[in-house]
Every structure is written in C-alpha cells, then in structure tokens.
Chain A
Amino acid sequence: MARKITIEPVTRVEGHGKVTIHLDDAHRVTQSRFHIVEFRGFERFVQGRPYWEAPVLVERLCGICPVSHHLAAAKAADVIVGLGLEGLSPTAEKMRRLMHYGQMFQSHALHFFHLCSPDLLFGADADPAIRNVIGVILRHRDLAVRAVLLRKFGQEVILATAGKKIHGTGAIPGGINKNLGPEERDALLRGPAPFNAETMIQWAAEAVEFFKDFHKKNRALVDGFAAFPSNHLSLVRKDGALDFYHGVLRAVDAEGRKVLDDVDYQTYLDHIGEEVRSWSYMKFPYLRRLGKADGWYRVGPLARLNTCDFIPTPLAQKEFEIFKDFTKGRPNNMSLHTHWARLIELLHSGEVIRDLLLDPDLQGTELVRKRKKRREGIGLVEAPRGTLFHHYQIDGHDQITMANLIVSTTNNNEPMNRAVDWVARNVLEGQTEITEGMLNRVEIAIRAYDPCLSCATHALGQMPLAVELYDAGGALLDRRSR
C-alpha cells in the first residue's frame, strides 16, 4: 500500500514548515518536498511607510537575527540617502560591523549548542528524553555553560551597539545613532573572566576542536550524511576575504569554478532569478547564467567557506586551512560540515569583535553622512544562515513603493529540499517501518540550515513541526510533533 509521510504544522502555517514524503507500494520514494511559508507579507507591510522606518520595521521579521534585517535595510537606506557603498563614516561602518559580528557570534553559539550538539553527542536514534539540551548538560556541563555565556556575550555586543538586544535602533540611513563609549568597550574587552573577548575567543577555538575531535571519531556520519554537489553563493570582500557585512557577490560551482565573478550587488536582479513552483509558497532562487534547473545554490556558513579565498583573522584562517585541506581545496558539499564551518565562523567573529573593540574609530563622533537622495536602494549582508537581500524603491514623498526581500531560508530552499530528498532515498526508502530515528534524520538535514520556521510568530499551540503518517486512503497511521 502506498504511504505518505507528512511532517507539518499542527495549526496555522505562518512561519512553519512541512515535509511530505511519498512512498509507493514497494516503499520506494516517489516524491519528497519541504514547504515553508515565505515572508511576503512583510514586503506589503512596509509599502507606504517612510524608507527611514524600514530598518526598524523589518527587523520584526525575526527574534533571533533581527540585526541582519536591521542592517540589510539600513544598507539599502544608505544608498537611498545618496551614499556610495563605501560612503559611511569609519565610526558608523565599524559600529555596524561590531553589531553584526556580535549577532553572528550569538547566533552561531546558540545553533551549535541548541540544535547541533544533541544530534552529534547522542545520535539520531537516541531516546528523545536524552537527545536535547538537558542531555547535553548532563554529559558535557562545561559545553552547556559556555554556550549560554557565548550567546550572552554576543548579545551584550548587540546591546552596546544597537541600544537593545532585540529590535535595536542603532543603524539609521547614512550611519548610526551612537558610538561606543569607553566603558562599554572596556566591559566587553576587559571584563572579569570569563566574560571578555579573549576568553570568548578561546572558548570558540575549543568548540572548533570539539567538533574536529567528534569528526575524527564519526567520519562516516559527518561526511556522508546528506552530501550532494551544489553551487555556493555569498558576499566576499573585494580581495576575496570572508566578510559578513559588505562586499561583492560571488558564486562557485561544485567544482570550485566561479559562476558569479564578484559582481556589485546593486545589480543582483541581473544575476539572480526567483522561480515560482505551484506546490510551494516559497520561491526558488537561481543563478540566471546557469538557468532554473542547474542554477540553484547554497548559502550560509558552508557556502561562505567555499566562496571566500581566505579568512582575515589568524586563528580562524588556521582552521580554514584545515577545513580546505580536508577537501583538497575543492568546494565542500557535505551538509553536516556546515556545523564545522559555523564554528570556524564563530571563532572568526570573536576575533573580529576583539579587533574592532581595540579600534579608536568606535569612539569617533561622525555618525551620519548624507548626500543627494535616490529613489532606490539595495542592501545585502551575510546573515548567520546566509545571504540576505533587501531591495526598496521609494516615491517623491519618501514612501516605500516596492520592497523585495530574499531571506537566507529562501536562498536555501532548493538545498533543503535536496537534503530532505537525500534522507528520504537513503534512509526511508525500502523500510517497512518508519521509526522516530528515521524521521529525526529528516529533521537533522533541515536543522543543518536552521531555517526560519517559527520566528515571526510562535504562539502557544503552534508546534514548529509535527509528524503524521498516512496510508494511501488518507487514514492517520502515526503522528509525532516537536
């Protein structure tokens, strides 16, 4: 009897995901799909609002990475107020960078501890009563305590630069509204141990070692799970360095050939298309040069380490070289290596935060610059989960007439579908019984990308994911929820 496995929300679908896997009578996979509702509502919501409100309005998209939306919108507004892409004052640009790297630091620490480590430490088949953050604490208490403080440190950086930990107001069109006071700097740079930049860097370096040690002992799992070739896209600095805040758009294919060669992101529409498929609310971005079928790409930590030439801080660069040596310099297409890449970026973020805190430009007083206004602006940043596009057009009254947002989760739409399909064909196919562990492997594939499933709204009663098993007649055979 043909069966349909569904992983879907219990109630409404805003901000939630659904996985459907169809099996035929012989238990072969005939189709797998991953659905998420996209945030198009926000694009309509900002229309008619003044452009300078955009950085504050759009950050409400997310409670985990609001800084990314805040800064992408602010960068678009910079263009509207007539600044060139490098037109900010040194104080404004460095304050924004500090805010952004603080965001990256806290988000990456949270992901490793909250989502990744339970799966790695206990395995996909472990008892769900243990395979969670409490289980991590019981086995690796130091890791858990450190994770809380790593995240807290990143949030304190955000507080010092954005004014608030969540939904801050630090970035404004053309600059920022505050600099960093010496007391704020010293609290982060020289605070009592362990709460200072040097200790955070040390802990981040040890987190990388933790992953590498796990990798050595579990090579088959880490290397083989949901590995598939893809293109990779991200911002890189003009000299090819890893850069989360600003740069040019670069994409490489699965063999490492440049398929998008360091282009100005103001021209992104010339290079990126968005395909609509009838079964999904979320669009499927692709590189126009390669077409819809072959032009899909990954974004996020793995993609960034595949596109950049080097990392401009010493400890992270050393780890980057080890990471690149593993694939002999070729692009890394192994989904679970995203966790490795994420921890290298955590280390890099810590180093950048420390270096920025030592920079006297943060105490500068030129906060805002403005020149001749334009009617259109595009802002890009590398958010923790990948490249984030914000595009606005305004009218003569400064009101937004068009907004186009391509969030990281949308960029990763096809890769997440491929990852789910890999699990369906390599784990579920041919099985006569679907276990908790098998279904958890579907989630592990999704968790590597940490899509924005439930950030916009999460009211009680809304589970991020539920698992339902139906027979060919539509009768419910089994149901699990997260």
Chain B
Amino acid sequence: MKVLVVGVGNPGRRDDGLGGALVDRINVEKKGGQAPISREIGACPLSIKAEWKCQLNIEDAQAVQDADLVVFADATTEGEEPATLEEIAPAAQIAVTTHAMAPASVLALAEELYGRAPKAYLLAIRGYDFDIGETLSPQAAANLESALSLFSEFLLSLK
C-alpha cells in the first residue's frame, strides 16, 4: 500500500511549520526502520512517502493521484487539542488567491483531471503561535508528539 503524507505549512511562521515537522519526523523514523512504518499490510509492504509543501497547489493533484492513501498534515488555529485525524472527501472551492489551496480541492482536482482521488485524511495539529520565527511553541511541540502517536495508531489500524 502506497501512503503519501503531505505536511503543509511555512516553517518560518513558528507553529505553521507543524506539518513540515511531522514530515521530518516520519522521514527520520523511516531511516531507522521503526515500526509501524516498516510493517506489512497483508502480503504488501507499507510504502510511506512523506513530503513538505509550503502551500498546496494544483500540481499536488498529480502527486496524490498516484497514492493509495493520502494524509494531509497541517497546523490548525481552532481545532481540538492536541490533534485530530478525519477522513476528507473531494470538494471544489472558489479561489480568492493563488497562495493557498484546500486539501479537498486538491482531491477534487485529482478526481477530475486524473480520474481518481485516493482515500484521504486530514491530520490537524493544534498550533498557537504563528508569529515569525523558526521554532515550534512548547505546546505545539507536545502536540506534534501526540500527532505522531495518532498517525502511528492509524497505520496499525490499516488492513
């Protein structure tokens, strides 16, 4: 099973970098061959690709359509603490700016352009400080650990 993790956000705006921080951690754990990232699902090995994006955009439709499952990870200003993981569906939205695109729009674009949108989830990690800076706030850093646990449990639940 091919799993694509897309971490979204600007690491120069403190907790907005949560998505990228999650991607970094997954890639470190991949190198270490740690479970559950190295597990097998049935007879198929779990293949995880984790990528950081400052913002989602139209070309990401091409990237996601090749995966069996996509997890978008992003900071949230209002969501539940420490993090939530919910399935999302394709949905087209009006764009006000080229500078942002919603995960649901990326899925809708993949569905229309390439004929398929993979099953997808949104991992929303609560952030608090979005000022200019390069480090996560202490609370956000703790939430990142919870999000990683949530993601690991999710992988173990895949059959």
Contacts and interface: CB of A to CB of B under 8 A. Distances in A.
Given A64-B55, A134-B109, A459-B74, A107 B98 contact: yes
Interface stretch (A109-117, A177-185, A204-212, A261-269): A109-117
B68 interface: no
Interface stretch (B30-38, B124-132, B150-158): B124-132
Contact of B76 (A133, A451, A459): A459
A152 B92 contact: no
Contacts of A66: 54
A451 B98 CA distance: 9
A454 to B, nearest CB: 5
Interface string B1-30: 000000011111101100000000000000
B97 A454 contact: yes
B99 A41 contact: no
Given A129-B92, A133-B109, A459-B76, A151 B99 contact: no
Interface in B100-135: 100-101, 105, 108-109, 112-113, 122, 124, 127, 130-133
Q: Secondary structure of the B side of the interface?
A: loop
A457 interface: yes
A456 interface: yes
B75 A110 contact: no
B58 A113 contact: yes
A11 interface: yes
A119 B97 CA distance: 13
A2 interface: no
A132 B101 CA distance: 12
A14 interface: yes
Interface string A1-37: 0000000000110100000000000000000000000
Given A11-B78, A14-B130, A134 B94 contact: no
Interface in A35-66: 41-42, 44-45, 57, 60-64, 66
A453 B100 CA distance: 9
A158 interface: no
B106 to A, nearest CB: 10
A459 B96 contact: no
B77 A60 contact: no
A293 interface: no
Nearest to A60: B12
Contact of A152 (B53, B62, B131): B62
Most buried by A among B57, B59, B74, B96: B96
A381 interface: no
Interface string A128-152: 1101111101100100110110011
B99 A11 contact: no
How many B residues touch the partner, as a band?
Answer: 35 or more
A452 interface: yes
Contacts of A64: 55, 57, 98-99
Contact of A460 (B13, B62, B76, B92): B76
A450 to B, nearest CB: 6
Contacts of B113: 137, 141, 144-145, 148
B135 to A, nearest CB: 13
Given A148-B61, A167-B54, A458-B16, A132 B112 contact: no
A457 B99 CA distance: 10
Contacts of B127: 459
A415 interface: no
B138 interface: no
A83 B63 CA distance: 42
Contacts of B45: none
A69 to B, nearest CB: 11
Contacts of B10: 60, 63, 455-458
A132 B97 contact: no
A71 to B, nearest CB: 17
B96 A60 contact: no
A461 interface: yes
Given A63-B10, A450-B97, A151 B77 contact: no
Given A61-B12, A443-B96, 18 more contacts: A42-B132, A45-B133, A64-B98, A107-B98, A110-B58, A111-B98, A131-B94, A134-B109, A141-B113, A148-B58, A148-B62, A152-B62, A447-B97, A450-B97, A455-B10, A455-B97, A458-B8, A459-B76
13 contacts: A44-B132, A60-B13, A114-B57, A115-B98, A132-B92, A137-B113, A144-B112, A148-B59, A148-B113, A450-B98, A455-B97, A460-B77, A460-B124
Top 5 A-B pairs, shortest CB-CB distance: A63-B54, A60-B12, A134-B92, A461-B78, A460-B76
